[in-house]
Amino acid sequence: MKFNRVAVTGMGAMCGLGNNLDEVWANALAGKSGVTTLQNQNTENWPVTFGGEVKNFKLDPELMDPKDQDRFDLFNQYALHCTDEALKQSKLLSAGYAMEKIGVVFGTGLGGFPHIEKNHQIFLEKGARRVSPFFIPSVIPNMPEGLISIKWGFKGINFAVASACASSAHALGIAATEIMLGRQDAMITGGTEAVITGYTIAGFASMKALSKRNEEPSRASRPYDVDRDGFVMGEGAGVIVLENYEKAKARGAKIYAEIVGFGASADAHHFTAPHPEGLGAMICMQQTLDMAGVPKEEVGYINAHGTSTPLGDAAETGAIKKVFGDHAYKLAVSSTKSMTGHLLGAAGGLESIFCIKALETGMLPPTINLDKQDPACDLFYVPNKAEKRDIKYALNNSFGFGGTNSSTLFKKAE
Amino acid sequence: MELQDKVIKLVSEATKMDAANISLNTSFVDDLNLDSLDMVELMMKMEDEFGVEIPEDETENLKSIGDVVTYLKAKSH
């Protein structure tokens, strides 16, 4: 069986660095931090009061009726916003594909936590009769896909992937498969997440997973630095339009990159801690290279999972060294979470976009706040300043609680 | 503010429709395009605003602004 090639023809992004792709990318290359003291909510009594929060966001009423905007939790709205941007860039709507050949699959790690928290409060204080009829539709993880299909009429495959912080990387793999197999001509994929609430932060803080650097938020996310003390909550979305390569070419679409491989594995070790030698991550990266049939020496950039946790960054570094051998010291690795915070289930979507933009522009986004590199993390992490480097292949890593791993390999457009 | 105006104001805020286009004759389904979930939410807001309990089987008879005003007036006696 011959598999179809998969082209990236559109992207949409939002996070603490900005509310559209151009802004996000420009700020990432400038090495800016999107992490601030939280402004959108009252954070009294929260153990952690900062994050990579989206600012000044108002969804276009064309994309969702204003009366619904109070009802549908933010992760739905972020998905609509970024899908609109990606669709415009790709001009997919005028491509002439049958609607049943266009699918939507996103990754979402947690879903509508803000509305769960809000309705639970109402349930306790005012009783069952006051729980909103929009509560369930608003919070289920696959509602973004539903709303997008309703808005644009896409009638192909439609569901959500949930694998914690690897969700959207897995979604991308699934979406690419659909096109490779010829079941779909185009896929809207990536991820969306918006769970910066007291409840979620309290949960992650109890696990001692979060940085507590409340006094200097923009310095808190510092992957590979000796003083890293946990991850920083982020939010946002990264949406990618994938198309059957030959069909995209035939319609004259601009192709930004190709997806040529992806892998998925489990650590089978612990429910939250990474395998100390990064065993699952190794399996996953190797599988990705094998699927693509690309020699490891051709990979020029890795957008690492790199969450700024003491264990995770070292384990991933170890895994990269085992998979790439000497070449690990020649390629560039960076963690853009140093700037965006951790978008959880949306991380793989946004960070895949960083890989694609790196291939397109020949510029690698930096790891900021890398002041004193941890000896256990001894690769080249593009410290603090973007790096100009022409690369042919870029790899994205995303790992999640449950010990789940996903990697995706992108190839520069021909 | 008269009861009628209060109801119109509440419906206008909930539906983001201009209050000027809402009158006693305005139908929730035909004019405001509300579905069953919209109606549940709207009735919750009515209950909160007017301090009454509107049993589920009675909401089925409340098809217009006028119906609600009449119902609320009867409840307050």
| Structural domain of B47 | 3-76
Q: For residue A86, what pLDDT is reported?
A: 98
Q: H or E segment at A263? A: strand A257-266
**B45 to chain A, closest Cα gap in Å:** 9
- The per-residue DSSP string of A208-233 comes to T-B---TT-GGGT--TTBTT--SB-B
Q: For residue A13, what pLDDT is reported?
A: 98
CA A4 to chain centre: 25
In residues, how long is chain A?
Answer: 414
Please enumerate residues of B whose Cβ is less than 8 A from a Cβ of A.
14-16, 37, 40-41, 44, 47-48
Which chain B residue lies closest to A70 (C-alpha atoms)? B14
Of the pLDDT bands very low, low, confident and very high (cuts 50, 70, 90), residue A303 is: very high
Tell me: pLDDT of A214 over 80. Answer: yes
Interchain CB distance below 8 Å, A67 and B44 = no
Provide CB contacts within 8 A for A58, sequence distance 6+. Answer: none
- The per-residue DSSP string of A136-162 comes to HHHHSTTHHHHHHHHHH---S-EEEE-
Which chain A residue lies closest to B55 (C-alpha atoms)? A129
Tell me: pLDDT of B72 over 80. Answer: yes
Q: Once rounded to an integer, what is the mean pLDDT over residues A222-245?
A: 98
Q: Once rounded to an integer, what is the mean pLDDT over residues B46-50?
A: 93
Measuring CA to CA, which residue among A164, A228, A168 is closest to residue A200? Answer: A164
Interchain CB distance below 8 Å, A133 and B37 = yes
Q: For residue A151, what pLDDT is reported?
A: 98
8 Å CB contact between A210 and A221:
no
Interchain CB distance below 8 Å, B16 and A133 = no
Sorted by where each begins, the domain ranges of chain A are 6-250, 265-400
**A62 to chain B, closest Cα gap in Å:** 14
**A114 to chain B, closest Cα gap in Å:** 18
Q: For residue B5, what pLDDT is reported?
A: 95
Selected residue of A67, A71, A115, A143 to mutate for chain B interface (largest B Cβ count, 10 A): A67
Locate tokens 């807001």: which residue? B45
8 Å CB contact between A241 and A11:
yes
Angle at A194 between CA A349 and CA A363, to 5 degrees: 35
Of the pLDDT bands very low, low, confident and very high (cuts 50, 70, 90), residue B75 is: confident
Mean pLDDT of chain A: 97
Percentages (nearest 5) of helix, strand, coil residues in chain A: 40, 20, 40
Q: Which sequence positions of A are flagged as catalytic?
A: 165, 305, 342
- Tell me whether domains A6-250 and A265-400 share a fold: yes
Coil/strand/helix, residue A125: helix
Interchain CB distance below 8 Å, B16 and A130 = no
Which chain B residue lies closest to A129 (C-alpha atoms)? B44
- For A15, A301, A332, A370, the CA distances from A383, given in Å and listed in that order, are 21, 14, 10, 6
Side-chain half-sphere of A190: how many Cα atoms within 13 Å? 37
What single letter denotes the amino acid at residue A197?
Answer: T
Number of domains within chain B: 1
Tell me: pLDDT of B77 over 80. Answer: no
Which class is domain A265-400?
alpha beta
Tokens encoding A413:
């457009």
Tokens encoding B59:
């909401």
Provide CB contacts within 8 A for B65, sequence distance 6+. Answer: B4, B7, B8, B11, B22, B23, B24, B25, B26, B28
CATH number of the domain where residue B66 is located: 1.10.1200.10
Q: Which residues of B touch A137 (CB under 8 A)?
A: 37
- The per-residue DSSP string of B17-71 comes to --GGG--TT-BTTTTT---HHHHHHHHHHHHHHHT----HHHHTT--BHHHHHHH
Q: For residue A143, what pLDDT is reported?
A: 98
CATH code matching the domain that covers A6-250, chosen among 2.20.25.90, 3.40.47.10, 1.10.510.10, 3.40.50.300: 3.40.47.10
This prediction has a pTM of 0.96
Interchain CB distance below 8 Å, B41 and A132 = yes
Of the pLDDT bands very low, low, confident and very high (cuts 50, 70, 90), residue B1 is: confident
Query: What whole-number distance in Å separates Cα of residue B72 and Cα of residue B68?
Result: 6
8 Å CB contact between A344 and A196:
no
Tokens encoding A76:
């739905």
Q: Once rounded to an integer, what is the mean pLDDT over residues A12-21?
A: 98
8 Å CB contact between A142 and A161:
no
Tell me: pLDDT of A176 over 80. Answer: yes
Q: For residue A46, what pLDDT is reported?
A: 95
Tell me: pLDDT of A1 over 80. Answer: no
Of the pLDDT bands very low, low, confident and very high (cuts 50, 70, 90), residue B76 is: confident
Tell me: pLDDT of A366 over 90. Answer: yes
Query: What whole-number distance in Å separates Cα of residue A80 and Cα of residue A78?
Result: 5
Backbone φ and ψ for B21, nearest 5 degrees, come out as -95, 10
Interchain CB distance below 8 Å, A134 and B37 = yes
Tokens encoding A81:
């916003």
Nearest residue, CB atoms, A66 vs list B16, B40, B47: B16
Q: For residue A194, what pLDDT is reported?
A: 98
> Roughly what angle, to the nearest 10 degrees, separates helices B3-15 and B65-76?
130
